[in-house]
């Protein structure tokens, strides 16, 4: 994929007893976010590669709670993403009452938080999404912005997904976006509890038991470099 990043991930010591690390995430625009499922997989593999811990699974602290990361024998990583929240006040989404779907800028969307806010649209064609994503992300209904997922249902066990992330733009893959899309599809009765998610950057598996959601997928080491932060422009 070349040099660059969608998210900058920082490995820090946890402030909680019994928790292995703190997982800190910044978007490419410098804004800090509370959740990144794909990043969590890379986080676990990096810790393993650098021999920072020999524990498996790992528990990591985030701004929204504790995540559990398990490296599988095939080097894929299973991430316990926690419990989704559907309360508009938590997402946050400006609306009077909770619903499975909302009308935002004329578009029907599902909305939930998995440590970060998501809006999910179900479409038959997800080839042209830019203008719709811009309208939803610019809406006053989402005061803290929103990640917008465009889902095409292939079967009850498989979907195709594109995600435009706040502070980043469209990414090749979005783990929390994959979870949000599958959860929304399950709530509408369109999907089973274990779903393959096809993203432009690869495939992931999402499982939702009605309480916690799990994301499983691979990670790949691309390059290693260093930067002198003292000489970086302010």
* CATH number for the domain harbouring residue 184: 3.10.310.10
Give the pLDDT mean for 75-87. 95
Check: CB of residue 214 under 8 Å from CB of residue 76: no
Cis peptide before 57 (omega within 30 of 0): yes
Q: CA-to-CA distance for 192 and 186, rounded, in angstroms?
A: 6
With respect to residue 225, please indicate whether it lies within any of the assigned structural domains: no
Residue 174 bears catalytic tag: yes
Do residues 72 and 117 share a domain?
Answer: no
- Segment 86-118, tens digit of pLDDT: 999 999 999 989 999 999 999 999 999 998 999
Range of the domain at 78: 7-82
Last residue of a domain, one of 82, 117, 143: 82
- pTM for the structure as a whole: 0.89
Beta strands in 50-101 (DSSP E): 58-62, 65-71, 77-82
| Catalytic entry in 24, 33, 36, 79 | 36
Token pair 């990096």: residue: 46
179 among known catalytic residues:
no
What tens digit of pLDDT does each residue of 19-37 get? 999 999 998 888 898 888 8
- Which of 42, 45, 174, 178 is labelled catalytic? 174
Cβ contact 132:123 at 8 Å: no
109, part of any domain: yes
């Amino acid at each position: 994929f070349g040099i660059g990043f969608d998210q900058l991930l920082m490995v820090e010591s946890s402030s909680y007893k019994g928790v292995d690390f703190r997982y800190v995430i910044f978007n490419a625009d410098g804004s800090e976010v509370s959740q990144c499922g794909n990043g969590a997989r890379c986080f676990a593999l990096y810790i393993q590669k650098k021999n920072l811990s020999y524990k498996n699974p790992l528990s990591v602290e985030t701004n929204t709670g504790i995540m559990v990361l398990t490296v599988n024998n095939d080097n894929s990583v299973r991430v316990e993403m926690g419990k989704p929240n559907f309360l508009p006040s938590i997402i946050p989404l400006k609306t009077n009452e909770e619903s499975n779907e909302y009308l935002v800028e004329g578009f029907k969307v599902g909305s939930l938080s998995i440590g970060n806010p998501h809006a999910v649209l179900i479409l038959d064609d997800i080839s042209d999404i830019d203008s719709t994503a811009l309208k939803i992300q610019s809406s006053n209904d989402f005061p803290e912005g929103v990640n917008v997922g465009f889902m095409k249902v292939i079967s009850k066990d498989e979907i195709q997904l594109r995600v435009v992330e706040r502070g980043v733009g469209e990414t090749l893959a979005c783990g929390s976006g994959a979870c949000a899309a599958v959860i929304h599809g399950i709530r509408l009765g369109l999907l089973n509890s274990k779903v393959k998610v096809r993203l432009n950057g690869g495939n992931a598996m999402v499982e939702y038991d009605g309480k916690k959601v799990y994301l499983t997928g691979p990670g790949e080491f691309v390059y290693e470099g260093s930067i002198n932060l003292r000489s970086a422009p302010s």
